[in-house]
A and B are shown apart, each in its own frame.
Chain A
Amino acid sequence: MALEFYSTRLQEAVNWARKYSLFQYPFVTACCGMEFMAVWGPKYDIGRFGAEFPRFSPRQADLLIVVGTITERQGPVLRRVWEQMCEPKWVIAFGVCASTGGFYQNYSAMPGCDQVIPVDIYIPGCPPRPEQVLDGLLMLQDKIKKGEGWVQQREKREHEAQLRAKGKLPVVS
């Protein structure tokens, strides 16, 4: 009992640290980038929430912000960028194009970047207001704290499967 208590509390402490030190990789493809700069700049200042530092290499980042329209031709690129990021990692779809394809319904635009990568937070808007983005970031921090990010949940599932294989957890049908 003591060990489990310790490990869950430790995970919470780790998640608390993670949520305040997000290193973001902005995958900026379109006009939403302007609004992203506003969020990042001094007036709205995403740095207040610990997500200040954009890393321009996905290998150093743990938060992928997909900003703008993703075309079918960009799909493999986005997928590779996501795959290069170290785990745990999170994804924000910034703006309605990254979330659902927006007003594009044609041969070239991808209907939402969740077609190729798992997305944790969708921020609608064309483009979203900086306040919306900060709100989305806070929601993501909440998710990280609770361990509800996509990668975190997958890790949890895999961990539980290992425990079940060792007979340390009851098998649920």
Chain B
Amino acid sequence: MSVQALERLKAQFGDAIRATHAQHGDETAIVDPAQIVEICRFLHDEPGLGFDMLVDVTCVDTLGLDKREQGRFEVVYHLLSTQSGRRLRIKAPIDEGENGENPEIDSVMPIWKGANWFEREAWDMFGVRFRGHPDLRRILLYEEFIGHPLRKDYPKDRRQPLVRRDFS
């Protein structure tokens, strides 16, 4: 159980921890995206917490949801402590720029190197820019692809073919 981790987070960062909940052994903290690196550093380094493994970084597009909190996108980090076996989920809500620029958040690669490909995937699928990422290219789709297909406003029937038959 990571309830204790949530308490320590709140004690350390105060208002930067916007909300927490813990249901059925499923602990989540919704945090200020501007401080994501400091928070992750604390969770990684602090004795007694030691979340040394980044299980996943992904993103949620909340476009069209009624219960939207602030920000269109939610970057979600799943952490695991291999020492204690405890897990923790961190959510960082971020928004697009005013002119539809890609949303930005700091990369957590300085803390967990494994974030490299996860962040590339989130960029590929959702168009979230990770500041400080050394190699933010598409990872699954091809370079010629335009747009980010897991966004809710990407039309499901849009095809972006690389080749088509030019003979009959």
Indicate whether A and B interact.
yes
| Cβ-based interface call for B154 (8 A) | yes
- Interface centre among B142, B154, B158, B163, by most A CB within 10 Å? B163
Interface-facing stretch out of A13-21, A47-55, A110-118, A141-149: A110-118
B165 partner, pick from A73, A105, A111, A117, beta carbons under 8 A: A117
Question: Closest A-chain residue to B154, C-beta based?
Answer: A107
Task: Tell me whether B163 and A79 are in contact (CB under 8 A).
Answer: yes
Q: B residues within 8 A CB of A107? A: 149, 154, 156, 158-160
Using a Cβ cutoff of 8 Å, how many contacts connect chains A and B? Answer: 39
| Cβ-based interface call for A72 (8 A) | yes
Which A residues from 86 to 115 make CB contacts under 8 A with B? 105-108, 110-111, 114-115
Task: Tell me whether A73 and B157 are in contact (CB under 8 A).
Answer: no
Closest beta carbon of chain A to B127's beta carbon, Å: 13
| Cβ-based interface call for B11 (8 A) | no
A72 partner, pick from B157, B161, B167, beta carbons under 8 A: B161
| Cβ-based interface call for A41 (8 A) | no
B162 partner, pick from A76, A117, A118, beta carbons under 8 A: A76
Question: Closest A-chain residue to B142, C-beta based?
Answer: A73
Complex Cα spacing A111 to B161, Å: 10
Contact with B along A133-160 (1 / 0, CB 8 A): 0000000000000000000000000000
Task: Tell me whether A72 and B165 are in contact (CB under 8 A).
Answer: no
The DSSP consensus for interface residues of chain A is loop
Closest beta carbon of chain B to A109's beta carbon, Å: 9
| Cβ-based interface call for A33 (8 A) | no
Question: Closest B-chain residue to A107, C-beta based?
Answer: B149
Q: B residues within 8 A CB of A75? A: 161-164
Q: B residues within 8 A CB of A116? A: 163-165
Closest beta carbon of chain B to A120's beta carbon, Å: 14
Task: Tell me whether A105 and B162 are in contact (CB under 8 A).
Answer: no
Question: Closest A-chain residue to B147, C-beta based?
Answer: A107
Q: B residues within 8 A CB of A72? A: 142, 159-162
Task: Tell me whether A105 and B157 are in contact (CB under 8 A).
Answer: yes
| Cβ-based interface call for B22 (8 A) | no
CB<8 Å pairs between A and B, sample of 14:
A72-B142, A72-B162, A75-B161, A76-B162, A76-B163, A106-B149, A107-B149, A107-B156, A107-B158, A110-B161, A111-B159, A117-B165, A118-B165, A118-B167
Could you tell me which B residues sit within 8 Å of A by CB distance? Answer: 141-142, 149, 154, 156-165, 167
Could you tell me which A residues sit within 8 Å of B by CB distance? Answer: 72-73, 75-76, 79, 105-108, 110-111, 114-118
